[in-house]
Structure 1
């Protein structure tokens, strides 16, 4: 994967993970995910994966 792809996927994962977290915690209304504990657990995990991808993307861009 190129650096830009990792950066893009990492940023997307961080944003989606953050949304899942706040929905799972019940701060965002109007979704079947609202108040469901599983999303409050999976969200932060996805954020961590996204941060790892961002870190790998930055490293790949720096090596060029």
Structure 2
């Protein structure tokens, strides 16, 4: 297998992993935000200002990770 083909394959795998991690972090951030705002109850995190602030920040970080994976994946398919 040529080295360039191997690098392209690894870049594709990396893009998929980044996408999966990004979606997971985004969903966690959404859950944390909803708990912080009191929409989802039954947790010590419910109705707390800390998670009302950290949840959306974590969500945005997750979106950034997922978009990075998407861009890397698009670049490797060219």
Work out whether the TM-score is over 0.5: yes
Gaps of 5+ in 1: none
Task: Tell me the C-alpha RMSD between the 2 structures.
Answer: 1.1
Task: Report the Cα distance in structure 2 between the residues aligned to 1:50 and 1:17, rounded to whole angstroms.
Answer: 8
* Match of residue 23 from structure 1: 35
Greater relative contact order structure (CA < 8 Å, 6+ sep): 1
* Match of residue 74 from structure 2: 62
TM-score between both structures, scaled by the size of structure 1: 0.93
Pairing 1:35–2:47 present:
yes
Q: Select the structure of larger CA radius of gyration.
A: 2
Gaps of 5+ in 2: 1-10
2:44 partner SS = coil
Structure 1 residue ranges, 4+ long, deviating more than 6 angstroms after superposition:
none
TM-score between both structures, scaled by the size of structure 2: 0.78
